[in-house]
Every structure is written in C-alpha cells, then in structure tokens.
C-alpha cells in the first residue's frame, strides 16, 4: 500500500527515505577518503591539523553562513514569506547535495501543497543559475591564471552549453510542449506531462522580471563560496588565490553534475584536490585534512541553519488553503 503524501513540511520524514537510498554512495565516498588518508599517512595529516588556525576557521564558518542565507533569501524573494521559503530551501539543498545530478533538489515537489508549476520552475531556474555562475567564474579563473588548461576550458564551455544554455532554450519553448501534448492521447500520462511542462514554461518566463536580482544574488553567493575556499587553505597557512579556487570549484561542479559521481562518492573532491595539488602546490596531507575540516565546518553551519529555519511560525491557514489543489 502506498503511504499517504505528506501535507506538512516534515524535513526529517522526507529526508529519511532518501538518506536510506543514498547509503551506498556514502560508503563509496568514505572508502575513497579513508584510502586517501591511508596513502598519505595519519601522522602527516595530524601534523597538518596541528597547525590549523582556529580563528581563520571561525571566520570561514561565518562567511559560509553568509553565503548559505544569501541563497535562502533568493527563495524568500521568489516564493514570498507565506510559503515557508527557508524551510523549503534547506529541504531542497539537503536532499540535492548528495543525490546523483542533484535531482534531490526537487524534494519540495514531494509536498502536495507545494507541487505547483511555480515551485518546479523556480527550483530548475535556481539550479541553472547556480551552475552558470560556477562555470562562468571558473572560466574567468582559468583565463586569469594563464595556465594551459585548454581541455578544462573546453569542458567548462561544453558544460555551460549542455547544462545551462540548452535547458533554457527548451524550457522557454511553451509551444513545443503544447505541440507535443497534442500528439498524445488526451488524458494520458504523456499528454498530462506535456501540459505540466507547458505550465512550468509559463512560470519560467514569468520569473524573468526578477532574474537580474536573483542572478546577482547567485553570483554573490558563488563568490562567497570561493572566499570560503580561500579561508580554508589560509587556516592551514597557505594562500590560494580567488582565480584558482574559482577554477577548482568549476571542476568540482562539473564532476558532481555527472549522475554516477555525485558528491557522496567523493570523486568531485578528488578532482578538486588534484587541481589544487598540481596548480596550487598544496601538499597532499593538507588537502586530505582540508576536506575533513571543511566537511565538518560546512555541516555544522548547514544543519544549525536548517534547525533555525524550522523555528518560527509556519505558513498561515489561508496560505495552505490557497495552495491546496
């Protein structure tokens, strides 16, 4: 028997099932990280951790929180105060961060009263904006470094075209979905799917009036992420420039977008570490220690922020009635 759909925003319930399905990816990622630590040696990593500057680490966590809530404010701007924007944001990011291709970011659509064309359109647009900002800043970082990384530049350009430009061109073609819907049996699954996509396309176009504001906030949040990366290595006594971190995050983003190598597998972190080692000269023991330190710091900020988002009044009864199909 199929369990009833949740009508309220219960993050623990919604994330529970997904967490169980993602355990095998966590095992892969943990095994890869433990293998990396074993290869380098616990003593060398311990020496790197001993030199950690706690004050810089505290600044890193503050900046991380700034970037996280900047992204949450985008949801507040688009959805409005009565639609639980902060709770939905943290639910989306918690489910998306460890899922293949970040498809888990669609988790708010599992909630019946939030399963609307506007919600689907915004989640998709937000993901496209995040990818575009990461890829563009990464390309700018590559050009600034003057490094002969032509293969990576071409990969980033291809990713920009495939992951951002092509979806935008398709999503804004409402007539295409209407035409496709007319080709299928009326009332059938495919016809209803095309109708839903046509409605999402309408909402994507409606978001254009606020696209400049949310794009600026996305670029700001991505720049803040880069500063977090700079502070991470500064806490170990190494200076890594803005351009290199932007390039590294671009490579990390491309790797995590591949369905078989999400963040949980650890592969994107390995790609980023390889670039920092070859282009930045960061020692292996520092790279290994930095991955663990950032994971702990970022998770503390994220889950404490998620807890803060769950404190306070929920959407009003009027809002609930308005959104119920």
Q: What is the pLDDT of residue 95?
A: 81
Q: What is the pLDDT of residue 164?
A: 94
Neighbours of 285 (CB within 10 A): 20
Is the pLDDT at 1 greater than 70, yes or no? no
**pLDDT tens, 63-78?**
999 999 999 999 999 9
Is the pLDDT at 4 greater than 90, yes or no? no
**Which is more confident, 314 or 252?**
252
Query: To the nearest whole number, what is the mean pLDDT of the chain?
Result: 84
- Distance (Å, whole) CA 138 – CA 253: 10
Residue 325 falls inside a structural domain = no
Calculate mean pLDDT across residues 52-61.
96
- pTM metric for this prediction: 0.86
Q: What is the pLDDT of residue 317?
A: 43
Lowest mean pLDDT, pick from 145-149, 277-281, 319-323? 319-323
Is the pLDDT at 119 greater than 80, yes or no? yes
The number of domains in the chain is: 1
Is the pLDDT at 325 greater than 50, yes or no? no
Contact residues for 179 (Cβ-Cβ < 8 A; gap 6+): none
**pLDDT tens, 171-225?**
999 888 888 888 888 778 888 888 899 999 999 999 989 999 999 999 999 999 9
Give 136's pLDDT tier (boundaries 50, 70, 90): very high
Give 150's pLDDT tier (boundaries 50, 70, 90): confident
The domain in which residue 200 lies consists of 11-311
Q: Are 113 and 320 in contact (CB under 8 A)?
A: yes
Residue 4 falls inside a structural domain = no
Calculate mean pLDDT across residues 264-289.
88
Lowest mean pLDDT, pick from 31-35, 47-51, 121-125, 299-303? 31-35
Residue 323 falls inside a structural domain = no
Is the pLDDT at 28 greater than 50, yes or no? yes
Residue 1 falls inside a structural domain = no
Q: What is the pLDDT of residue 318?
A: 39
Q: What is the pLDDT of residue 178?
A: 87
Q: Which residue has the tokens 């769950």?
A: 310
Give 100's pLDDT tier (boundaries 50, 70, 90): low
Residue 79 falls inside a structural domain = yes
Residue 319 falls inside a structural domain = no
- Distance (Å, whole) CA 195 – CA 204: 14
Residue 102 falls inside a structural domain = yes
Contact residues for 229 (Cβ-Cβ < 8 A; gap 6+): 240, 245, 248, 249
Calculate mean pLDDT across residues 50-63.
96
Give 127's pLDDT tier (boundaries 50, 70, 90): very high
Q: What is the pLDDT of residue 105?
A: 86
pLDDT > 70: what percent of the chain?
A: 84
Give 320's pLDDT tier (boundaries 50, 70, 90): very low
Residue 2 falls inside a structural domain = no
């Amino acid at each position: 028997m199929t369990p009833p759909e949740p009508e309220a925003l219960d993050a623990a319930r919604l994330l529970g099932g997904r967490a169980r399905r993602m355990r095998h990816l966590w095992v892969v990622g943990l095994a890869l990280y433990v293998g990396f630590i074993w290869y380098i040696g616990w003593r060398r990593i311990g020496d790197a951790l001993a030199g950690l500057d706690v004050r810089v680490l505290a600044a890193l966590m503050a900046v991380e929180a700034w970037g996280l809530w900047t992204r949450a404010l985008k949801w507040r701007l688009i959805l409005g105060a009565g639609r639980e924007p902060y709770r939905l944001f943290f639910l989306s990011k918690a489910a998306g961060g460890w899922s293949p291709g970040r498809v888990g970011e669609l988790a708010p659509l599992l909630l019946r009263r939030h399963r609307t064309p506007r919600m689907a359109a915004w989640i998709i647009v937000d993901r496209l904006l995040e990818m575009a900002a990461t890829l563009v800043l990464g390309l700018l970082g590559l050009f600034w470094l003057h490094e002969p990384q032509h293969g990576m530049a071409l990969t980033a350009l291809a990713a920009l075209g495939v992951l951002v430009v092509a979806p935008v061109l398709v999503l804004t073609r409402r007539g295409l979905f209407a035409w496709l819907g007319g080709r299928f049996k009326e009332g059938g699954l495919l016809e209803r799917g095309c109708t839903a996509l046509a409605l999402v396309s309408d909402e994507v176009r409606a978001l254009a009036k606020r696209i400049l504001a949310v794009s600026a906030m996305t670029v700001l949040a991505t720049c803040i992420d880069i500063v977090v990366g700079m502070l991470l290595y500064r806490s170990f006594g190494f200076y890594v420039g803005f351009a290199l971190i932007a390039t590294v995050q671009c490579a990390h983003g491309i790797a995590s977008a591949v369905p078989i190598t999400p963040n949980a597998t650890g592969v994107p972190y390995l790609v980023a570490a390889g670039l920092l080692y070859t282009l930045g000269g960061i020692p292996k023991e520092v790279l290994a220690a930095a991955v663990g330190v950032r994971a702990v710091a970022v998770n503390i900020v994220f889950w404490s922020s998620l807890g803060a988002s769950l404190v306070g009044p929920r959407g009003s009864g009027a809002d609930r009635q308005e959104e119920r199909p």
